[in-house]
């Protein structure tokens, strides 16, 4: 498939033991698995612009006790691309993977995947036993202040007009400019995620990119980045008041562009009825990648109390 991917290794990373596709809303979604199939299942959901193989160091640690599944979100990794994106369709994908599993599972999500996991637990409470949300509490009200990221400012009608303009000109032919090598792709990604090592990002890129004429591009759908019109997390966070599943909220103690600082974190988590919190020392937004051992211990302890 990708011979280069086989050549790029990383300490502690273990490839999944099994792979299959699950259909959701007509799309073919990629699901990979580690661990004993008879063990209690845990479903992992990755963050925005990540993919299921970003769990290659974290999932094997959970797999000592669990059957661990990881989903490529629609438009990400090896899952198919839809015509368009909505938050709800992504949440239903998680619900449909749980249904396909046929038995209740734990849900562990990172970043955007943490938000999806939380909303999936709202939609399918009987299918989710315990929930872990790793720094997936939504962006700050004004969005993440990341270097080099285009920001869309204006009134709400202006924001919709900008979305309509972008869609009219770009959706049908959206594509990335190829990087000449995987190393360069990893280096470019590091500008967005400076806390992640180049060695890890090479491993990540080897599984999250494909070869095209002129080099390598991420497998992710460029349209997935553009969103779906004006959107504010505070419109959906209050619904967390209806959450029947206990949540462990995890974040790192290091400042990171992609995290959600207080007061917003406390405000959003204030809606969760049954909540425990845990802070991973020395980690930023990617606690499960930066400190996989410590994060896995926290998660295993929480799931063990089910």
Partner 1 sequence: MKLASGRGEVALHELRPGPGPTLLALHALGGSARDFAARAASWPGRVFALDLPGHGDSAWMRGGSYSPELCAAAADDALAELGDACLLGAGLGAYVALLLAGARAARVPGVLLLPGRGLDGGGPAPRPDQAVEVRSADALRMLEARGAKERAAFDPMLRACETDPRPPEYARAFADEAKRLLLAEDGGARPPWWEAARAAASAEPAPSDPAAALALLARAAAAPGRGPAPRS
Closest contact distance (angstroms) between CB of 40 and partner 1 is 24
Q: Which is nearer to partner 1, 143 or 230 (CB)?
A: 230
**For residue 165, how many other CB atoms are within 10 A of its CB?**
10
Among 137, 144, 257, 132, residue whose Cα is nearest residue 196: 257
Is residue 226 within 8 Å of residue 166, measured between CB atoms?
Answer: yes
Closest contact distance (angstroms) between CB of 95 and partner 1 is 7
Q: Which is nearer to partner 1, 104 or 229 (CB)?
A: 229
CA torsion angle 227 229 234 237 (round to 10) = -60
Taking only Cα atoms into account, the Rg of the chain, rounded to an integer number of angstroms, comes to: 18
Q: Which is nearer to partner 1, 148 or 157 (CB)?
A: 157
Among 87, 89, 74, residue whose Cα is nearest residue 31: 74
75 φψ region: left (φ > 0), alpha (ψ -120 to 50), beta (else): left
Closest contact distance (angstroms) between CB of 47 and partner 1 is 19
Closest contact distance (angstroms) between CB of 243 and partner 1 is 12
**Alpha-carbon distance 231 to 221, whole Å?**
20
Q: Which is nearer to partner 1, 153 or 155 (CB)?
A: 155
Closest contact distance (angstroms) between CB of 231 and partner 1 is 8
Closest contact distance (angstroms) between CB of 283 and partner 1 is 31
Q: Which is nearer to partner 1, 21 or 163 (CB)?
A: 163
**Alpha-carbon distance 1 to 3, whole Å?**
6
**Alpha-carbon distance 253 to 270, whole Å?**
19
Q: Which is nearer to partner 1, 26 or 102 (CB)?
A: 26
Is residue 39 within 8 Å of residue 80, measured between CB atoms?
Answer: no
Is residue 119 within 8 Å of residue 236, measured between CB atoms?
Answer: yes
State the residues that interact with partner 1 by CB under 8 A. 23, 25-27, 74, 80-86, 88-89, 92, 95-96, 122-124, 155-158, 160-161, 163-164, 167-168, 171-172, 228-230, 235-236, 238-239
Q: Which is nearer to partner 1, 165 or 211 (CB)?
A: 165
Closest contact distance (angstroms) between CB of 271 and partner 1 is 13
**Alpha-carbon distance 86 to 212, whole Å?**
28
**Alpha-carbon distance 277 to 58, whole Å?**
19
What token pair was written down for 72?
């490529």
């Amino acid at each position: 498939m990708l011979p280069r991917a086989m050549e790029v290794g990383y300490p502690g990373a273990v490839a999944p033991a099994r792979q299959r596709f699950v259909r959701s809303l007509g799309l073919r979604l990629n699901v990979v698995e580690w661990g004993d199939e008879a063990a209690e299942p845990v479903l992992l959901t990755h963050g925005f612009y990540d993919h299921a193989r970003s769990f290659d160091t974290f999932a094997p640690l959970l797999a000592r006790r669990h059957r661990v599944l990881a989903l490529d979100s629609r438009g990400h990794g090896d899952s198919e691309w839809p015509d368009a994106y909505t938050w709800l369709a992504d949440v239903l994908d998680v619900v449909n993977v749980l249904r396909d599993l046929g038995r209740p599972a734990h849900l562990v999500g990172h970043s955007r995947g943490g938000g999806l996991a939380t909303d999936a637990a709202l939609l399918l409470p009987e299918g989710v036993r315990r929930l872990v949300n790793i720094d997936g509490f939504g962006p700050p009200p004004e969005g993440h202040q990341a270097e080099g990221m285009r920001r869309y400012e204006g009134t709400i009608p202006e924001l919709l007009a900008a979305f309509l303009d972008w869609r009219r000109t770009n959706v049908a032919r959206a594509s990335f400019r190829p990087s000449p090598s995987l190393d360069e792709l990893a280096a470019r990604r590091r500008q967005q995620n400076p806390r992640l090592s180049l060695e890890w990002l090479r491993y990540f890129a080897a599984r999250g990119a494909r070869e095209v004429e002129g080099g390598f591009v991420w497998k992710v759908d460029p349209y997935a980045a553009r969103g779906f019109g004006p959107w504010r997390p505070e419109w959906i966070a209050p619904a967390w008041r209806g959450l029947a599943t206990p949540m462990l909220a995890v974040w790192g103690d290091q400042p990171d562009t992609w995290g959600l600082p207080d007061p917003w974190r406390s405000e959003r988590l204030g809606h969760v009825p049954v909540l425990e919190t845990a802070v991973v020392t020395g980690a930023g937004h990617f606690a499960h990648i930066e400190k996989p051992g410590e994060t896995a211990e926290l998660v295993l302890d929480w799931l063990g109390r089910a």
